[in-house]
Amino acid sequence: MPSKFLDAAGLAAFYSKLKVWIAGKYATIANLDLKVDKVAGKGLSKNDFTDELKTKLDGIQAYQGATSSAAGKSGLVPSAPAADRNKFLKGDGTWSDVQTEREIVVVSEEPTAAGTASYPANTVFVLMEED
């Protein structure tokens, strides 16, 4: 005749099944917080951007640097490689070193192109007028 009471093994089996059942109920309740309600006219994968903004974002082109004969065009700036992390993006769209050292030359009159030709490109001319 079957017993009306659980023995230790039966109680352990019941307790295991009860824990799984409770965990499943709590998981269902927790998942309700993640639920997304359906909105009429929208699918769950629809973008909340307006179509106009989405089209505008999709249409952004890459940055085009200026040349000696044409202006540059705005756009997405090219990413710099890790080796160029201390460089800056020039107007022509290339990465260039920042020249931190300058040669300063004091002059008494405005230098001419011919007069500056023998100096390095990073030379700064300081004009000091005589009293």
Per-residue pLDDT tens, the chain, 131 aa: give them. 566 777 888 888 888 888 888 777 777 776 777 777 777 776 666 667 788 888 888 889 888 888 888 888 888 888 888 888 888 888 888 888 876 666 778 877 787 777 777 777 778 778 777 66
pTM: 0.34
Helical H segments across 1-131, by residue range: 8-32, 51-58, 113-116
94 lies in some domain? no
8 lies in some domain? no
Burial class (CB in 10 A: 0-12, 13-18, 19+), 62: exposed
**42 backbone φψ class: left, alpha, beta (φ>0; ψ -120 to 50):** beta
**How many residues in the chain?**
131
119 lies in some domain? yes
At 5, list the tokens.
């009471």
Q: Into how many domains does the chain fold?
A: 1
pLDDT reported for residue 47: 62
Give the side-chain half-sphere CA count within 13 A for 40.
Answer: 0
Provide the residue range defining the domain that includes 116.
99-131
127 lies in some domain? yes
66 lies in some domain? no
pLDDT reported for residue 34: 74
60 lies in some domain? no
3 state SS of 70? coil
Element (H, E) at 97: strand 95-97
pLDDT reported for residue 38: 75
25 lies in some domain? no
6 lies in some domain? no
